[in-house]
Every structure is written in C-alpha cells, then in structure tokens.
Amino acid sequence: MKIPVFTGSSVAIVTPFRDGNIDYKKLGELIDFQIKGGTSAITICGTTGESSTMSLEEHMEAVDFCVKYVAGRVKVIAGAGSNDTMAAVMLSQEAEKSGADALLSVTPYYNKTTQRGLVRHYTYIADRIGIPLIMYNVPGRTGLSCTADTYRELSKHPNINGVKEASGNFSLINATIAACGDDFHVWSGNDDETLPMMSIGAKGVISVVANILPEFMAELTKYCLAGDFKRAAGLHYKYLDIMGKLFIEVNPIPVKNAMNMMGMDVGEPRLPLCDMDPANYEKLKTSMKKLGLAE
C-alpha cells in the first residue's frame, strides 16, 4: 500500500507575469492565499501555470521559489513532464534537488507513444528519482490516453504514486481503481468531476477553480473524504456554473481573467494564449457576479 502524496485539494496555481517576467512577489501572495484557504498542496508549473511557454531556467526557478516560499507549510508538487523523456528526467531531478515533495508528469504529447512506450517512459523517469511521481493523463491536450493495464503495470513501481485523471473516462477510472487498489492513487483533473470521482475512490483534485475559491474546493473534498456526499453535492451544484465557465476558453485564459476581476492582478497569459473573446468574458463575469466575486 502506498501513502497518497496528498488528499483533498491541490491548486494548479497560475503563474503571474509582469513585463514579460514571472512576478514572484505576486506568486508569493497567491501561495499565501491558497494556504490560508485550506489548500493541501501547491502544484507549480502545470498546465494552468503555463509551463509550456516557460524557458527551462524559468521553470526550474519557479519550482525552487515555490518550495522555498512554502517552507513546508503544505506539499509542493512540481510539474516536470515532457514529451522528451530525457528532458522529463532533468526537470524531475532538478525539482527533487529544490526540495519538491512530488512530481506531476504529463504523458508524452505530439510525438505520443504506445502503451508499451508509456511504461518505459515512466519507468525510466521513476528509476532516476527519489520522490513520488504523479502521472497526468489529459488526452484532450496530448492526443494520448493510458489504459488501466498500463496503470496496473506502473503501479508496481515504488516511486509512481498515482495519476491526475483528466480523461473524463469513468470506465477507465473505475477499471483503474479496481485493478490497482491502494498501490496507485487517483486524483481528479477536472473540477466538475471531483465529486463523482471521489465517490468511487479518488483521493482529491488538482484544481483550477481553487485559484479563485480555495475554501470551496478544500471543503468539498473534505466532505467527500468523510463520506458526506450529500453536503459535498450541495457545494458542487452551487459552484457548478463557475467551474464550467473557467473552461469556456482554453485554460488558463478564463481563470486569469477571473482572478483579475477579483483584483488579484495576475497579468495576462503568454502567447499563443491571448485575451478572451468579449462575449465569453461577459459570460464569465456574469457567473462571477452571481457568486459575489465580481462587480
């Protein structure tokens, strides 16, 4: 049996930019906001953190800053995935040197691979690190999905702790939990699927909406972990609309706009991500207003 890296809610934290550079003062403020709001772990340099447009130096510097700033208050999970296995190893080892508690490693994208290749890719990385690795299955972005058999095989590795599942494939998730049990943990990668996924055994969520509502996601996961799915469902439906609106355009465009509406001043996303379509912006703003998060 493996102990999960975390239970509850981990924020997939945005990266604030100012004048083309990472705004570390603001990032520190965002981390404090999350910890105060009950977030169990900070996931830095993930999809929401725009790692795909960071240089290697920026990526490693952001992870190092996050670890030092958090200073053990909560877990730090460092994004360290790549479609280049050797690059993933390098990012993983650098994050471990910085003191990250765990790694988040997306499946190879663009070049993709076979299921056999996935086993070899993750095994190669896990053999070269000493901290837990969380896989990240997001076929909508990568064009590739794992199978339950692949998860079962990788669950045998002591350093592979589980997966952030953003496939939306509940047949896969059910089969994975049934096949792997406590040797391989599952976290939701989609906010609006957290409740149903936790009802069948997921340990929590790596969340986008937590960037603006950390208390909500922390509370929802707390109820789920306690088996109080009725109260969790009440929260789920209260915030269902905003969870959807944060994906009205590609993440993290909407969540950065939502944070700016709240006065958090996180800047704009980097190209090729750009400003929201005005009509979508108004839909997001309307949803925010209903929750008292915008004027």
Backbone angles phi, psi at 204, to 5 degrees: 155, -150
State the DSSP code for 111: S
Residue 132, Cβ neighbours under 10 Å: how many? 23
Catalytic residue of the set 164, 222, 245, 256: 164
As a whole number of angstroms, the distance between CA 126 and CA 114 comes to 18
**146: number of CA atoms within 13 Å, CB side?**
31
Catalytic residue of the set 26, 75, 122, 136: 136
As a whole number of angstroms, the distance between CA 209 and CA 239 comes to 9
User: Which of 86, 19, 77 lies closest to 51, judged by CA?
Assistant: 77
- Contact criterion met (CB below 8 Å) for 53 and 45: no
Q: Strands of 72-229 (E only): list them.
A: 75-79, 102-106, 133-137, 160-165, 185-188, 204-207
Residue 180, Cβ neighbours under 10 Å: how many? 21
Q: Is 164 a catalytic residue?
A: yes
Q: Which residue has the tokens 């447009």?
A: 53
Q: Which of the residues are catalytic?
A: 136, 164
